[in-house]
Each structure stands twice: as C-alpha cells, then as structure tokens.
Amino acid sequence: MKTIIEERREIPVAGETDVLVVGGGLAGVAAAAAAARNGVQVTLLEKTIALGGLATLGHVCVYLPIDDGLGHRVYGGLAEELMQVCRRYSYNDIPECWKGSPWQVERPTGRYQCTFNIPACVMALDEFMDREGVRVMFDTGVCLPIMEGSRCRGVIVENKSGRSAYLAKMVVDASGDADVLFRAGAECETQKSIVSTWTYELDVDRIKNETSSSEVLANIRMRWFGLRPDVDNAESGVPTFYGTTADGVNDYVHFSRSLALKYLKEHDRPGYAFLTMPTLPQFRMTRRLKGLAELQVAEGRREEHSVGIVIPSLANPAPVFEFPYEAVIDRRIENVAAAGRMVSAGGEGWEIMRCIPNCVFTGQVSGTAAALAIRDGVSLQEVNVAALQRNLEETGVILHVPEEMKRNSEKQPWEYERPLGLASLATDSLSYDGKSKYAH
C-alpha cells in the first residue's frame, strides 16, 4: 500500500481527567458511572452525538433478561439499574412479578427484561450522565492512544476543533471494537459479522382499525433485513464483513442499506413509510481483547477472582457462569481496561458477553477497577481483587453462583406466553432477498 509520512505537530491538551472512557455505548455509560461513584473525575468521549451505541443508534432496543428463567434474579448493580434508566421515559413492559426487583419469584409470569423507546432512552442516558457528574464530549472520535511503554497517557482525538489530546490516569476502552487496546498493542481477536439492519415502519393499514394508543404503538414495528444469527447461513451466499476496517464498514453499510431500499421499492404504496434507520452499523462481534484471562463457559466452574455471574440471556433456563476480573485487562498494558462487547471471551463466551446486560456489567467492573487503581496508586494488574469484589457486592452484584441457581434436571423453566417478551415492538425478519419471512 502506498504511504505518506504524517507531519509531526504540537497539539493542544483539551482535557485532563482521572478516568477517560472511550465510547458511550451502554458499557461506556456504566463504566463512567461506576468510576464517578467511586470518587474520581470522569470524561467520556463519544464519536457520535448520542449515548447508547448499538442499543440506541443501532436500534437494539431490547434489554435482554437478567433472570435465569427459573425465578432468580442474576444481576444486581448497574446491569439492573441501567435497565430502569433505559426505559424510564417509555414503555414499562417489565413483567409485574419483577417490578420491585425481588431476588426470587415463586411463579414468574415472564423474564426480567424490557424494551425501550430509542429517543427517550438517549435522553434518559444524557440525564443519567449529568447526574453522575460525568463530562461527556460528543462528536469526538478517538484516533490513537498516547503510549509510554506499557502505560497509556491519554488519547489523541479528532473533532470540530481539529486534533487535540485528552490525558488521563486510567482509560476504559468501551469502543465496542477494542480500538484503544488494539492500537496500544494488546493481543486481540477479530471476527466477521453477518448483515442486519433494523428500521421502524409505519403501515397505516395495520393501525387504522386500532382504537387504543397502546395498540397503535404496538403496530409500529421494527423490520429486520439481513440474516438471522441463530441459523446456519453458510449456504446463503450473503457476504460477511469485518467491522474493523474502513472497507469492511463501508461495504457493510452499502450492502445492508441496499437491502432496505430493495424492500422499500417493492412495498412503496400510500400509507407505508420507514420511520427511522440505524446510524451505527449493526456489527455484533468485531474485535475483542485476548486478556490475562478469558470467560470459561463451564457450568460449575468456580473463579476465585470472579467479579460477577453472567448468563447467556437468550437461554431458558440459563446456565450461570463466573466472570474473572482478569478478562477485562491486558497482560501488559497497565492502565487500559476493556468494557462491553469486546472483553476477553472467545467462541460461545463472546456471544454471551455481547448481550446488553453483560456489557453493562463489565462496564461497571472496569470503571470500578480503574477508580480503585487510582485510589491505591497501582496498575490494573495490581488491583486488590478482594476490595474490588467487596465494592461490587455492595452494589448488588453476585460474585459466585449460588446453590439455587445451579441447574439440574428437576428444575424446569416456566412456560411464558411470550418468552422473548417483545411486548411493545414486534419484530419481523426477512431473508436477504426478501423471499422468506420468519417470526423472530
């Protein structure tokens, strides 16, 4: 590839803080709140102009379950709290039995999950960050970490003011793609993604006979173009794309949008319109850290350094695993922690950790660890894990799998009317060529 030399130049330091969070998806929001609650100054840098990442700008407005399907609440802490924030100004489809946040429900009537309205969620997240005292800088893309050996002094950003630097004692990489850790030299794994694009549609024929406002809302549907992740797509002929290269992102965007346009052309009629389109490409898994440890998808395995228990949210009943602290840190880089869909978990573990509750959970872990490291004047590798565990436990995080959450053959999941509970939004999905239609 042809290259040129970028000119050396002096750039302004636009800000200095204790903890710098890169990326304002739900993981970044959780990391920022957790660090701020532990008494340090926090700045969050986000390249778009809204918080929420895939959950808002990528239209993934389904906060998957935080219970095990057998009547036990698995998550406390920010993973539960942010669910409430996301839905604060919109629908309230959390099943009655989970309202009030019990640890155990005798006869659950549904999973502990919710859907949320995207603009209302964006604004609730703004309010949340303000309340936590986090400085949020929008429209600020992080280009490069500033490294001194194994220590990151901060990052170089590009925004409307041009290039500048933000300096920090600790950095949380919540970019979804491990942009900071990768460019700092951390070992990472990349993966290709299948295509999907979700858009809301208004179909006047569908709503004209509805009389109540909730029925009208329920009929404003999400339409899904692309491939389903839960079936074998090997024979589909539809390309897959890397989300970690300029060409990969561009090809993905062009291709996925062309599917939506094809559908629109075929269904163009009075009374039918697309209402929105995603403004972040909907990559599921792109690049993740290969950290000091990895999540082991092994029921019954005890992790001494567990910082919380996690589930594959879609499973019913869901097996419960212990997540080790070392899965958010690199072997060498002393002060950059990972949060969200890019933490250290391979194969099936990556699928598990990319779901929203787990992204928020690891955000809380990394933000808290960063704050404790600053307090104790140590690197992330030297954090006092017992102190971190106590801190997380005090917020409601469960560290080790309790006896009652261990699955056995006598425990049967409750049958729910709507196991996935997409109460406020129905989802249709289409194959890439628009021929076959499935129910989600």
Ligand X SMILES: Cc1cc2nc3c(=O)[nH]c(=O)nc-3n(C[C@H](O)[C@H](O)[C@H](O)COP(=O)(O)OP(=O)(O)OC[C@H]3O[C@@H](n4cnc5c(N)ncnc54)[C@H](O)[C@@H]3O)c2cc1C
Smallest gap, in angstroms, from Cβ of residue 236 to ligand X? 16
Q: Please tell me the distance from the alpha carbon of residue 439 to that of residue 419, in angstroms, as a whole number.
A: 13
Nearer to ligand X, 55 or 372 (CB): 55
x/- mask, ligand X, residues 355-374, rule CB under 6 A, reads xx--x---------------
Q: Does 71 bind ligand X (CB under 6 A)?
A: no
- Return the structure tokens found at 393: 């436990």
x/- mask, ligand X, residues 2-41, rule CB under 6 A, reads --------------------xxxxxxx-------------
Nearer to ligand X, 138 or 272 (CB): 138
Smallest gap, in angstroms, from Cβ of residue 181 to ligand X? 12
**Options 37, 47, 221, 407; binder of ligand X; rule CB under 6 A:** 47
Q: Buried b vs exposed e over 182-210: b needs ≥16 C-beta within 10 Å?
A: bbbebebbbbbbbbbbbbbbebeebeeee
Q: Please tell me the distance from the alpha carbon of residue 357 to that of residue 56, in angstroms, as a whole number.
A: 15
Q: How many residues bind ligand X (CB under 6 A)?
A: 37
**At residue 47, what is the residue type?**
K
Nearer to ligand X, 165 or 216 (CB): 165
Q: Does 141 bind ligand X (CB under 6 A)?
A: yes
Question: What is the phi-psi region of residue 306: left when phi exceeds 0, alpha when psi lies from -120 to 50, beta otherwise?
Answer: beta
Start-to-end CA span in the chain (Å): 44
Nearer to ligand X, 2 or 193 (CB): 193
Nearer to ligand X, 53 or 317 (CB): 53
Nearer to ligand X, 24 or 324 (CB): 24
Place of tokens 């978990």: 345
Report the site for ligand X in 182-211 (rule: CB under 6 A): 196
Q: Does 64 bind ligand X (CB under 6 A)?
A: yes
CB atoms within 10 A of CB 19: 29
Smallest gap, in angstroms, from Cβ of residue 232 to ligand X? 18
Q: Please tell me the distance from the alpha carbon of residue 163 to that of residue 12, in angstroms, as a whole number.
A: 8
Residues 6+ apart with CB under 8 A from 297: 321, 347, 348, 349, 352
Residues that bind ligand X (CB under 6 A): 22-28, 45-48, 53-55, 58, 60, 62-64, 141-142, 174-177, 179, 196, 280, 282-284, 340-341, 354-356, 359
